[in-house]
Amino acid sequence: MGSRIHSTAVIDPQATIGCDVSIGPFCIIEAGAVIGDGCRLAAHVVVKKGTTLGVCNEVDEYVVLGGRPQHIARHTCWGQVRIGARNMIREHVTVHGAMSADSVTVIGDENLLMVNAHVAHDCQVGNHTIITNNVMLAGHVTVGDYAYLSGGVGVHQFCRIGSHCMVGGQAHINKDVPPYVTVDGVSTRVVGLNLIGLRRRGFTAEQILELKQAYRIIYRQGLTWEQVLQALSTTFSSGPAADFHTFLSTGRRGFVFERRTPVEATIPLPQQAAEPTLTVIAAEERKVG
C-alpha cells in the first residue's frame, strides 16, 4: 500500500519513508531520518537527522524526535535516536539525540509516552513502559521493561528505573529504583512490591512469594550491604527474584530507601475537652548500603 503524505509536509529527499506511512500536515522529516512501515505521523511532527522509527509507530502532534541534546556544550554533531516498533508517542513529547556521534538514545517496543514527556540524550528505555504526562528523564537514564512512571516524575541523570516497578506521581528520583517495587510519589520512598502490576502481568504466586522474600532481605532484616548481596545470590539463583541481585550489585548511585512508620510513633486517644494530639518520635532512618 502506498504512503499518504500531506502536501504541506517537508521531507528531505535523503530521508527513508517505508510503505503504508501516513505523514500529516506541516511535518518535517530531515535527511537521514528513517520512518518504518505503517507509521502514522500527525500534524507538525519533526523527525530530525539520525532518527530511526521502526514499524507501526503512532506519533501525535508537535512531537520532536532526535533534537539536539540540552547541554551547555554547543553541539553541531550529535548522536542518534532509535525507536522500536508499535510505540504510541503523544502530543509534545521530546526525545533528544545522544551526546556523541557514535552513541544512541534508545526507546524499545510497545511503549506509551504521554503528553509532554521528555526523554533526554543517551537514555535507554525498554519495552512496554508507560511514561505518563510531564515525566522528565535526564541524560543517561535507564528505564526497564514494564516500568510505570506516573505524572510529573523527575529522574536525575544516570539513574536506573528497574523493570516492573511503579513510580508514583511527582516523585523526584535521584537514586536507582530496584525492580518490582512501588515508590510513593510524596516521599519518594519504596512502599512495597508492585503487587497489582505483577499479578496483571501473570507472575505466579510462587514467583511473588520469592519476590517478597527477597524484598525482606533487602529492606527488613537489617543486614549490611555485603550481607544483602550474599543472601540474594545464594537464595535466588533463578527466576524474577534473581533480578534483585543483578540490579543491586551493579548500582553506582545508591538505591531508594524504604518508607516505614517508625515503631515509636504513637497516636494517643483524644481527651475529653482537649484537642487531639499526635506525638511522633521519629526513629533514625535505617539506610541500605
Residue 230, CA distances (Å) to 43, 224, 234, 240 in order: 54, 10, 6, 17
Contact 173, 157 (CB under 8 A): no
Domain ranges in the chain are 4-200, 205-248
The predicted-structure confidence for 245-286, as pLDDT tens digits, reads as follows 999 999 999 999 998 755 444 444 444 444 433 333 333 344
Query: What average pLDDT does the chain have?
Result: 91
The predicted-structure confidence for 207-222, as pLDDT tens digits, reads as follows 999 999 999 999 999 9
- Distance in angstroms between the alpha carbons of the first and the last residue of the chain: 57
Handedness of CA 210, 216, 219, 223 (dihedral sign): negative
Of the candidates 56, 57, 13, the residue with the CA atom closest to the CA atom of residue 32: 13
Q: Which of 109, 122, 145, 243 is catalytic?
A: 122
Total-model pTM? 0.88
Q: Which helix (H) or strand (E) holds 209?
A: helix 205-219
Q: Strand locations in 138-202, DSSP E?
A: 142-143, 148-149, 154-155, 160-161, 166-167, 172-173, 181-184, 189-193
CA distance 269 to 277: 8
Contact 80, 52 (CB under 8 A): yes
Residue by residue, pLDDT tens for the chain (289 residues) are 678 999 999 999 999 999 999 999 999 999 999 999 999 999 999 999 999 999 999 999 999 999 999 988 877 789 999 999 999 999 999 999 999 999 999 999 999 999 999 999 999 999 999 999 999 999 999 999 999 999 999 999 999 999 999 999 999 999 999 999 999 999 999 999 999 999 999 999 999 999 999 999 999 999 999 999 999 999 999 999 999 999 999 999 999 999 875 544 444 444 444 443 333 333 334 444 3
Q: Which of 121, 140, 164, 245 is catalytic?
A: 121
Q: Which of 139, 144, 168, 185 is catalytic?
A: 139
C-alpha cell of residue 94: 521530546
- Those residues whose C-beta lies under 8 Å from the C-beta of residue 67, and which sit 6 or more positions away, are 46, 48, 94, 95, 96, 97
Q: What is the pLDDT of residue 1?
A: 67
Q: Is 139 a known active-site residue?
A: yes
Q: Which helix (H) or strand (E) holds 95?
A: strand 94-96
Q: Label residue 214 left, alpha or beta by phi (over 0 means left) and psi (-120 to 50 means alpha).
A: alpha
CA distance 143 to 131: 10
Of the candidates 163, 160, 190, the residue with the CA atom closest to the CA atom of residue 176: 160
For the domain made up of 4-200, give the CATH fold: UDP N-Acetylglucosamine Acyltransferase; domain 1 (2.160.10)
